[in-house]
Amino acid sequence: MNCENYCVQNCPPSIYYVPDFITKEEECSIMQAVDKTPKPRWTQLSNRRLINYGGVPHPKGMIAEDIPSWLGQYVDRINQLNVYEEGIKANHVLINEYLPGQGIMPHLDGPLFYPTITTISCGSHTVLEYYDQIEDGVSDSSGSLVRHHTASILLEPRSLLVVKDDMYHKYLHSIAAREDDVIDDKVMNLAMASKVNTGDKLQRTKRISLTIRHVPKTSKMKIKIF
Structural domain harbouring 185: 3-213
What is the residue-level pLDDT of the chain in tens, covering all 226 positions?
Answer: 777 889 999 999 999 999 999 999 999 999 999 999 999 999 999 889 999 999 999 898 899 999 999 999 999 999 999 999 888 999 999 999 999 999 999 999 989 999 999 999 999 999 999 999 876 555 445 556 778 999 999 999 999 999 999 999 999 999 999 999 999 999 999 999 988 999 999 999 999 999 999 999 998 665 555 4
Biggest distance spanned by C-alpha atoms of the chain: 56
Structural domain contains residue 149: yes
Structural domain contains residue 151: yes
Prediction pTM value: 0.92
Q: Is the Cβ–Cβ distance between 78 and 91 less than 8 Å? A: no
Q: What total number of domains does the chain contain?
A: 1
CATH number of residue 20's parent domain: 2.60.120.590
Structural domain contains residue 226: no
Structural domain contains residue 67: yes
Structural domain contains residue 221: no
Phi and psi, residue 34, nearest 5°: -65, -40
